[in-house]
């Protein structure tokens, strides 16, 4: 997973005076908004999804306590998220507390607003829980533009609302006649764009975590619905529920791999101490270890005492069995050898878990180490005795892994001897930097000498090193370490980084603080980037975990006007740039039948309209990919007097054509009349989102029936007047235009005529004779015409590769820390990354084909 970041060098200077006036006291949720990194780990995509996890974890705590059976997560069209459960519901009765600030306030309000307030500080309300600090849901409230909490309990539905952590609608009853079986809590929130640079939830990220939780909590039903239409034209709706628990999870992770053993399940409960361990492990023919650890359902990417206990017992038991059976000769397998090809999930539950921080990356409880070690030692030894054939295979794999480790050691020694003959043990093709300050230096890995030449010419020689690689890297997903080390370009990379590889990796010896992959924005560049990421993920994973790996974002375009210019990263940013250039002197106007301007749309309303039009354009593209001629469809509906609704909701397809139907009954009648099978009828999921968008557009004053007008004509050929236009403020020195429409003359607050001219400045005074009206034929044309206006007087240059950019251009767009954009590669959802690398880079061709077919309609750039 990647998240956007723009590293810059620190430039702060110490203030001259330091008095009590400089001391700030942050109260309530203000501290969370001021320093979100301390509470949710930052402001990137990981932190954004952490808000959802906090709400889901609370719902799962209800399930672990035995009061909830289902959890629903719903991503709204507006970008909000709602998490619902059927548990006991948050308490709504008044608080009884000695603190007058808290006493008498509804408990649900205190839970959402007071840091370190919650029901998980003792074992009364929850025997086992993931929440500990009384902070999680407060972070959600503090870092959201708005939050709404709905509580259903005892036949009553309650509601309370907040904006950026402050109460806007106090707790009140919504209804008092609910069935007593309808209970639970719903938390809806919209992430605050002032805090997060990107507030767009990723379905795949949430899907992985919720699937994980369903495996960790057998019998609990977890559903995820994304109301936003995806690129293939579907509203995604998935549900997870599995009674086999983590055994099924291990088998899911190993789907597509060849297994060497059956799945081994270990379960142990100590009721006196309230401890429980559930462990599942299975060996495959792969060369990589995939070990996932959880404490009270919280994923611990840095492991902890439960992982130490597991590894210790596994090494002791299997090596003991191998010695007893005479399977070990000279070379004794290490713990790493014994875990090669192993997929394991360790889940422990305990009453008072101790984690290293709020994001709970590492479990620290000492008592769990011995508990897990004893459970694994006894159960695994018994399994080996019962399954001698599989046990022998596991031991033989470990012996082969030890031999491969020895071969890799010899290959490493050979690399070291070769390096000793070189220039300071560094590869000759490396253009090194002069600084030894690791935290301020970085190395760019570029493809080919052409890009390398531009990068060397434009770099900062003090802090930036350049390493050009020839050709494509070896696909390390399919290779043992000794073969990996024999590949020349990998040898070069290892020599340049000087931190070792695999089990010898020592991040402290890394020569550069940032490793930046910089490849062309084409298919070959993407392939090389994927091969490099596979190498780092498999052989230098700790560097990924520490956030040392970045992906450079070279621009696709340069937009110039006269002597000034700016670089544009991608097509979406290009669209925003063109719109921004146009809106400096344009405002959208609604015209009457006589051509006069009836209304001007500008400011925040215009910005919302444009966002909706962008989304509308995306949905129309989806429709086209599915073979639906959208403008004709809407034109026909606009002239339909039946009043069934704006859009048809069902499509019936057969060899001779298609039928669009507004109701399921109509579609069923068409299918029955033509004797069609059931799968000939399908729902058009994107219609609900389109109707919402059309409704929002209508509130802004746009007549959505005009969406269907093409070149001012309806399908019947009737000539219709243009209803919309962009009124442009005249450029300096522009000549009057005789055919310009007169602007509105309604007086403003100063008694002067109001002019509808651009960029949120409707009251600006200008000479209407010098303004220009650009006519728009229909609603799609609003956005397209705006882009055309933005292109006026500018020159657009598209870059095909890094080698085509001059050294100065590459520096100021991609390498300058003050201006560049980087994507940091993170270890979020590491197990899903492991599975995805296996799909994309492994040997199962059919699995890869199915993945490509599933995501085929999501392709945006295709080189043929």
Which of helix, strand or coil describes residue 309? helix
Give the Cβ contact number of residue 436 at 10 Å. Answer: 8
Report yes or no: 108 and 184 within 8 Å, Cβ to Cβ: no
DSSP state of 21: G
Which distant-in-sequence residues (6+ apart) come within 8 Å of 695 by Cβ?
none
Of 192, 520, 832, 834, which is the active-site residue? Answer: 520
Closest alpha carbon to 783 in 623, 637, 618, 569:
618
Give the C-alpha separation, 143 to 134, whole Å. Answer: 16
Distances (CA, A) of 283 to 250, 291, 336, 402, 686: 10, 11, 13, 16, 43
Tokens (6 digits) for 814: 């991609």
Tokens (6 digits) for 41: 């780990």
Half-sphere exposure in the Cβ direction for 258 (13 Å, CA): 7
Give the C-alpha separation, 207 to 854, whole Å. Answer: 16
Of 413, 506, 522, 748, which is the active-site residue? Answer: 522
Closest alpha carbon to 554 in 804, 197, 820:
820
**Geometric angle at alpha carbon 22, from 21 and 26, rounded to 5°:** 100
Which of helix, strand or coil describes residue 457? helix
Burial class (CB in 10 A: 0-12, 13-18, 19+), 780: buried
Give the C-alpha separation, 425 to 496, whole Å. Answer: 8
Distances (CA, A) of 351 to 121, 364, 610, 637, 845: 10, 13, 51, 61, 46
Q: Find tokens 């306030």 and name the residue.
A: 105
Give the Cβ contact number of residue 672 at 10 Å. Answer: 9
Distances (CA, A) of 462 to 40, 116, 435, 802: 35, 47, 5, 22
Tokens (6 digits) for 810: 């590459």
**Geometric angle at alpha carbon 485, from 479 and 490, rounded to 5°:** 100
Closest alpha carbon to 325 in 260, 399, 388:
388
Bridge partner list, 282? 343
Closest alpha carbon to 636 in 666, 661, 614:
661
Report yes or no: 160 and 137 within 8 Å, Cβ to Cβ: no
Give the C-alpha separation, 111 to 558, whole Å. Answer: 50
Give the C-alpha separation, 277 to 350, whole Å. Answer: 9
Give the Cβ contact number of residue 202 at 10 Å. Answer: 16
Q: Find tokens 């409230």 and name the residue.
A: 141
Closest alpha carbon to 27 in 138, 146, 150:
138
Of 524, 691, 713, 775, which is the active-site residue? Answer: 524
Report yes or no: 343 and 253 within 8 Å, Cβ to Cβ: yes
Catalytic residue flag (residue 520): yes
Catalytic residue flag (residue 522): yes
Report yes or no: 567 and 555 within 8 Å, Cβ to Cβ: yes
Give the C-alpha separation, 457 to 96, whole Å. Answer: 69
Give the C-alpha separation, 579 to 390, whole Å. Answer: 64
Of 226, 447, 772, 832, which is the active-site residue? Answer: 447
Closest alpha carbon to 52 in 222, 219, 235:
222
Which distant-in-sequence residues (6+ apart) come within 8 Å of 562 by Cβ?
none
Closest alpha carbon to 615 in 234, 230, 235:
230
Residue 400 phi, psi (nearest 5): -65, -40
Which of helix, strand or coil describes residue 705? helix
Tokens (6 digits) for 849: 């084909």
Enzyme catalytic residues: 447, 520, 522, 524
């Amino acid at each position: 997973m990647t998240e956007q970041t723009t590293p810059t060098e620190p430039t702060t200077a110490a203030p001259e005076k330091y008095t009590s006036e400089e001391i700030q006291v942050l109260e309530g949720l203000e501290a969370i908004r001021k320093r979100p990194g301390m509470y949710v780990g930052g402001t990137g995509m990981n932190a954004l999804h952490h808000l959802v996890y906090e709400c889901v974890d609370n719902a799962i705590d209800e399930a672990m306590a035995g009061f909830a059976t289902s959890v629903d997560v719903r991503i709204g069209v507006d970008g909000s998220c709602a998490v619902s459960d059927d548990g006991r519901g948050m308490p709504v009765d008044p608080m009884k507390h000695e603190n007058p600030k808290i006493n008498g306030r509804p408990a649900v309000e205190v839970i959402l607003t007071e840091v370190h307030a919650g029901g998980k500080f003792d074992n009364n309300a929850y025997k086992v829980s993931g929440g500990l600090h009384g902070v999680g849901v407060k972070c959600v409230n503090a870092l959201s533009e708005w939050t709404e909490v709905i509580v259903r309990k005892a036949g009553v539905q309650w509601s309370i609302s907040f904006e950026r952590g402050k109460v806007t609608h106090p707790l009140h009853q919504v209804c008092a006649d609910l069935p007593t079986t309808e209970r639970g809590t719903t938390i809806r929130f919209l992430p605050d764009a002032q805090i997060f640079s990107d507030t767009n939830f990723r379905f795949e990220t949430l899907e992985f975590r919720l699937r994980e939780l369903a495996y960790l909590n057998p019998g609990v039903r977890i559903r995820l619905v994304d109301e936003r239409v995806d690129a293939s034209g579907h509203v995604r709706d998935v549900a997870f529920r599995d009674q086999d628990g983590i055994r099924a999870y291990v088998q899911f992770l190993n789907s597509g791999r060849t297994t060497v053993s059956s799945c081994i399940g270990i379960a142990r409960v100590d009721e006196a101490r309230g401890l429980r361990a559930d462990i599942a492990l299975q060996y495959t023919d792969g060369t990589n270890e995939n070990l996932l650890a959880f404490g009270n359902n919280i994923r611990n990417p840095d492991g902890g005492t439960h992982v130490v206990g597991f590894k210790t017992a596994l090494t002791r038991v299997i090596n003991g069995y191998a010695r007893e059976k005479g399977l070990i000769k000279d070379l004794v397998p290490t713990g790493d050898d014994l875990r090669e090809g192993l997929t394991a999930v360790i889940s422990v539950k305990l009453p008072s878990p101790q984690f290293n921080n709020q994001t709970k990356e590492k479990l620290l409880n000492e008592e769990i180490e011995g508990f897990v070690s004893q459970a694994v030692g006894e159960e695994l030894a018994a399994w080996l005795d019962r399954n001698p054939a599989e046990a022998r295979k596991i031991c033989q794999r470990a012996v082969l892994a030890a031999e491969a480790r020895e071969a890799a050691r010899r290959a490493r020694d050979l690399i070291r001897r070769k390096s000793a003959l070189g220039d300071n043990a560094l590869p000759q093709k490396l253009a090194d930097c002069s600084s030894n300050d690791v935290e301020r230096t970085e190395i760019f890995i570029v493809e080919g000498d052409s890009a390398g030449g531009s990068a060397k010419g434009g770099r900062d020689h003090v802090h930036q090193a350049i390493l050009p690689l020839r050709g494509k890297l070896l696909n390390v997903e399919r290779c043992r370490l000794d073969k990996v080390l024999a590949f020349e370009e990998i040898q070069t990379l290892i020599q340049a980084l000087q931190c070792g590889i695999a089990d010898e990796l020592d991040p402290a010896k890394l020569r550069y603080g940032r490793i930046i992959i910089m490849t062309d924005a084409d298919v070959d560049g993407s392939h090389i980037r994927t091969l490099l990421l596979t190498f780092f993920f498999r052989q230098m994973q700790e560097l990924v975990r520490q956030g040392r790996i970045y992906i450079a974002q070279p621009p696709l375009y340069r937009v110039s006007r006269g002597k000034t210019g700016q670089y544009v990263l991608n097509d979406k940013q290009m669209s925003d740039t063109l719109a921004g250039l146009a809106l400096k002197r344009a405002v959208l106007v609604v015209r009457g039948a006589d051509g006069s301007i009836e209304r001007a749309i500008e400011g925040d309303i215009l910005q919302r309209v444009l966002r909706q039009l962008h989304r509308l354009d995306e949905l129309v593209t989806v429709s086209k990919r599915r073979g639906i001629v959208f403008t004709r469809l809407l034109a026909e509906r606009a002239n339909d007097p039946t009043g069934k609704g704006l859009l048809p909701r069902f499509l019936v397809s057969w060899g001779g054509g298609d039928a669009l139907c507004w109701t399921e009954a109509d579609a069923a009648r068409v299918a029955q009349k033509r004797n069609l099978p059931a799968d000939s009828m399908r729902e058009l999921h994107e219609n609900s989102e389109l109707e919402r968008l059309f409704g929002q557009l209508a509130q802004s004053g746009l007549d959505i029936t005009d969406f269907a007008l093409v070149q001012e004509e309806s399908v019947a050929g009737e000539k219709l007047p243009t209803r919309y236009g962009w009124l442009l403020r005249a450029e300096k020195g522009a000549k009057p235009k005789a055919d310009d429409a007169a602007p509105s003359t309604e007086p403003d607050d100063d008694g002067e005529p109001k002019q509808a001219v651009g960029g949120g400045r409707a009251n600006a005074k200008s000479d209407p004779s010098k303004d220009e009206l650009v006519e728009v034929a229909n609603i799609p044309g609003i956005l397209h015409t705006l882009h055309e206006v933005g292109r006026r007087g500018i020159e657009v240059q598209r870059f095909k590769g890094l080698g085509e950019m001059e050294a100065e251009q590459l520096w100021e767009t991609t390498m300058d820390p003050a201006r560049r954009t980087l994507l940091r590669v993170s270890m979020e959802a590491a197990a899903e990354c492991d599975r995805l690398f296996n799909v994309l880079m492994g040997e199962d061709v059919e699995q890869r084909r199915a993945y490509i077919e599933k995501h085929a309609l999501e392709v945006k750039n295709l080189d043929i």
